[in-house]
Structure formats: structure tokens, C-alpha cells
Amino acid sequence: MSTENEGNAVPPAPSAPPVPVESSAASPRPAARKGTMPPPPHTPPPMPGANGEAGALGQQNGTGSPVDSSWPPPSAHGGAAGGSGWGSPYQQPASRPAGRRGGLIAAVLVAALVAGGLGGGIGYTLARNSDTASTTISASDNGAPQIKRDPNSIAGVAARALPSTVTIETEGAGGQGGTGTGFVFDAQGHIITNNHVVADAVDGGRLTATFPDGKKYEAEIVGNAQGYDVAVIKLKNAPSDLKPLPLGDSDKVAVGDETIAIGAPFGLSNTVTTGIISAKNRPVASSDGNSESKASYMSALQTDASINPGNSGGPLLDARGAVIGINSAIQSTGGGLGGSGQSGSIGLGFAIPINQAKYVAQQLIKTGKPVYAKIGASVSLENTTDGAKITEQGVGGSAPIEPGGPADKAGLRPGDVITRLDDRIIDSGPTLIGEIWTHKPGDKVTLTVKRDGKEYKVDVVLGARIGDD
């Protein structure tokens, strides 16, 4: 896979060129799909190509067996070694050594946070610490708690948020589909959800969105971003009294903050669970196990709120009821997509920070296409903890560094190892990709680069790539 950057020049490289490497990502889907089942665990996911982006990988496996926590996460198809592009083959590196830093890339089993038809798609979910109890609020048929509560209580927050969440049902042209969640983004009828929730309906499929009061609306896809795992759909004949959920500031979230998740786990619409923020900036990559799917990377919010298949695309709220993330993936053990049952939450879930999701949604509404930040260099997905190494050869024999691109202007060269992006530790290519994607094109970042045993700092102005191609 690859990423792209630009900035100030690094001191000239030594005569001997450094060794190359590469990286990439993918996304998860729901279970019990009518199409082909996701491959078994420990199969690497397809990754983005040179000059690609960063994100998080998660996947469901066909047997429901657990996914290990080492990088890389299991994926749909194995392939040749070397650099990879969007949908290109990828060879799984050796398992990562223990004792890795807290921000390690989590191998998440994207329990196709879709239920009902249990279709599939990229998914991430929130997680909750084992020592914190998870509280579930069961809403009444009209979507609101039956007894009035303090507006600042969990029940009070749920009562305000539930009317603005929807259960999304998809049906693809081939009959495959599933159930996920979404929430009202604006009064014009735009709903935010995960890309993997609507993936089956992208080409000629059907979408419906049902509110807690039982009112159901046909919907259409406005735009979807595979790499970010974000999508926007719009209600047809949307009601005039829609109330968008208030958006919080995910940059200001702190570990230990209370969280509230809303979704349709295993088809149980309007389910509310609680937890805390377990970690921030958690590098996560996720894949739906589909051989044709591309990778997704994120620098996620980790939560221990109970999240399961069907929760994908639902809001992660703070204690005030503001959206701070989109529930997208979970790490799970056991279960069985295609086996004894679909895997469920073990208290490790991941959400796309709302600051990033908001930017992506706005771009999709405006142009229908996502915009990714890039550095213009192919980086290795090799399983090391030393940093993100720029490969010697790009995807398909292309140049590892885009001529005239951000990395080229900054003086970077094959073999350079990027160990930090601003104050973020970069321990692998996927981590770098995820961090780059938290920025916007035109942002200026400082990279710490190692070359021949020496360390340099270089400023890079991030470039732009439009679309998922």
C-alpha cells in the first residue's frame, strides 16, 4: 500500500539506496451474507496501492473463529509479496513481536456490524474495559424510554438521540444484504453511516431507513468512501421535522470519558449501550474479506461499550449526547460467520472520530467523491515496529515516490524510515496511513525520518487524491 506526502527536503540520501517496503488497508462486513463468505482468519486483506491512503482494517471470517491481535489483521486474499495497490494482492508479514506500543494496529474482526439479513461491509466498533459494566437501555416501541428521566442521565440522552437514529436495511442486486445503523446529519435528509453498511446496494441495490417510531423511508446513496469506511445516504421524501444529532469534537475526547452507543445489534433496533473511551488514536485496519474490496485505515477511538453486528454506522455519543464517533469495528473471539453464529463483542470496539467523518461526509455531499490526503510515497506493510519504510519499488513497477509529489519535494527517498508524524509515533506503514488520513490535503506535517542511522525532521505539505480508484 502506499501513502503520499510533501514538504521540506531531507538531506541528500547516501549513495546506497535504502531497502523498500509497502502498506495498505481494508474493511468489514456483516455475517450470513448470501454471497460468498469471507475467508478464514489469518488471511491478509487487500491493500491500497502506491500513493494511497491510510486507515484501519477489520474483517469477519467465514468460520467465526477469533482474529488475533497482531498486525496485520486477517484478510480476504493472499497474494504476491511486494507493494500493493487498492485491491492488489498482499502477502501477510510475520507476526508482530509482543510488547508493541499501545497504539499498535489492531487486527479487528469487523463483525459485519450488520444484522437481519446480516449482509456485509466494512465495520468498526467501540470497545469497553473489562472492569467496566455495560448498561443496556431497551427502548419502547416508539423509540423512547417509557419513564421520563433527568435530561443529563443516560436515559435522558438516549431519549433525545434515538429519534434521530435509523436502522438501515440493504438489498443488493444479487439478493445479498444486511442491517446496519445510521444517524441524521442534516435537516435535508442526509444520513451518515459506514461504507460497508451500504456497500451491497451501491450498484443497483435497494436501501431503506427505519426510525424508532416505525416510519420507513426509501433512500439512495449520495456518496461512499471505501478508505474511510464512511457513506452518506439521503432519504427519499424526507420528513420536514428531522432533527440532526449534535456533533461533538473528537479531538477533545479523553480516555475515561463516558460513551453511549446506539445501534441495531443482531437486528435489535434502537439498542443503547454504555461504556468509556478506552484509548485514542488507535491504529486500526479493517477488511470485509471480499476479494474485490479495498482497505480502510483509521486512527480510531476505542471504547468498551458493547457493540455487535448491526451496530455499524451508528453514533457513539459523549455524556452530553453529542456524536464523537461512528461505530465501525470490533475485535472478537469465537462465534461464527457461516458457522455456529456471528461473533459478538468482547469489549473491544473502534469508532471513526467524528471530526474526520464530518469532513468526509461534507465532501461526499458536495461532490459525491471522497478526498484523501497523501504523501506520494509507497510504504511497506511489513510487520516491524521500527517505523514506516518507503519501498524501493511502487505498485506494478511504478516509482516508489511520485515525481513532483509531496515526498519528492521533501527530499524523501526509498529506504527512508518514517518514525513520527508530528507528535505521533509511527511504528508501521498502516499506522502512517491512518495518521495521514486524519489530516486534510494542504495540511503541513512534520515527519521524523531515519536514514543510515541518522535522524532528520522534514516538513511535508500533504497532497490530495480524489476518489477510491
Residue 116 neighbours by CB under 8 Å, 6+ apart? 169, 177, 178, 179, 264, 267, 310
- Other C-beta atoms within 10 Å of 367: how many? 12
Q: What is the mean pLDDT of residues 5-31?
A: 35
For residue 290, name the pLDDT band (cuts at 50, 70, 90). low
Output the pLDDT for position 229. 95
For the chain, percent of residues with pLDDT exceeding 70: 64
Q: Distance between CA 186 and CA 30 in Å, rounded?
A: 27
Residue entry with cell 509531496: 406
Cβ-count burial of 407 within 10 angstroms (0-12 exposed, 13-18 middle, 19+ buried)?
buried
CA atoms within 13 A on the CB side of 189: 18
List all residues 6 or more positions away from 368 whose beta carbon is below 8 Å from its beta carbon.
222, 223
Asked if 111 and 343 count as a contact pair (C-beta separation under 8 A), the reply is yes
**Minimal CA–CA distance to 331: which of 67, 62, 40?**
67
Asked if pLDDT for residue 413 goes beyond 50, the answer is yes
The pLDDT of residue 142 is 54
Task: Return all residues near 240 (Cβ < 8 A) that are at least 6 apart.
Answer: none
Residues of the chain with CATH 2.30.42.10: 2-18+372-466
Catalytic residue among 269, 293, 312, 378: 312
Q: Lowest-pLDDT range, 217-226, 354-363, 386-395? A: 386-395
Question: What is the rounded average pLDDT for all residues in the chain?
Answer: 73
Average pLDDT over residues 274-302: 81
- pLDDT the model gives residue 33: 34
Peptide bond before 72: cis, by omega within 30 degrees of 0?
A: yes
pLDDT band at residue 385 under the 50/70/90 scheme: confident
CA distance 172 to 205: 4
Greatest alpha-carbon span in the chain: 74
Burial of residue 158, with CB atoms counted within 10 A of its CB: 0-12 exposed, 13-18 middle, 19 or more buried? buried
Average pLDDT over residues 133-155: 62
**Which of 196, 296, 378, 439 is an active site residue?**
196
Q: Would you state the pLDDT for residue 227?
A: 92
Contact criterion met (CB below 8 Å) for 339 and 64 = yes
Tens of pLDDT, residue by residue over 62-71, are 222 222 222 3
Q: Which of 381, 298, 286, 418 lies closest to 80 in space, CA to CA?
A: 381
Residue 1 pLDDT level (bands cut at 50, 70, 90) = very low
Cα–Cα distance measured from residue 379 to residue 53, given in angstroms and rounded to the nearest whole number: 10
Band the pLDDT of 296: cuts 50, 70, 90: confident
- The question of whether 95 is a catalytic residue gets the answer no
Top pLDDT among 243 and 126 is at 243
Helix, strand, or coil (residue 355): helix
CA distance 458 to 445: 8
Q: What is the pTM of this model?
A: 0.72
CATH topology of domain 19-371: Thrombin, subunit H (2.40.10)
- Given pLDDT bands bounded at 50, 70 and 90, which one contains residue 220? very high
- Whether the pLDDT of residue 304 is over 90: the answer is yes
Burial of 290 per CB tally in 10 Å (0-12, 13-18, 19+)? buried
DSSP secondary structure string, 263-277? E-GGG--SEEEEEEE
pLDDT confidence tier of residue 143, bands split at 50, 70 and 90: low
364, amino acid identity: L
Lowest mean pLDDT among 15-24, 142-151, 249-258, 371-380: 15-24
Closest among 50, 46, 47, 58 to 298, alpha carbons compared = 58
C-alpha grid cell, residue 18: 535504502
Active site residue 196: yes
Q: Per mean pLDDT, which range of 133-147, 230-244, 326-340 is the poorest?
A: 133-147
Residue 372 has pLDDT above 90, yes or no: yes
CA distance between the termini of the chain = 13
- Mean pLDDT throughout 431-435? 92
Confidence of residue 394 (pLDDT cuts 50, 70, 90): confident
Model confidence at 4, pLDDT cuts 50, 70, 90, reads very low
The CATH T-level fold of domain 2-18+372-466 is Pdz3 Domain (2.30.42)
Low-confidence winner among 118-127, 180-189, 285-294 (lowest mean pLDDT): 118-127
Indicate the SS3 state at residue 358.
helix
Phi, psi of 181 (to 5 degrees): -135, 160
Spot the catalytic one: 229, 318, 416, 427. 229
Cell of 404: 513532483
Query: What number of other Cβ atoms are within 10 A of residue 359's Cβ?
Result: 17
Whole-angstrom Cα distance, residue 277 to residue 317?
A: 11
Q: What is the pLDDT of residue 73?
A: 36
C-alpha cell at position 327: 461505530
Model confidence at 52: pLDDT above 70: no
In this structure, what C-alpha cell is assigned to residue 229? 469506511
pLDDT digit string, tens, across residues 191-201: 999 999 999 99
Range list for CATH 2.40.10.120 in the chain: 19-371
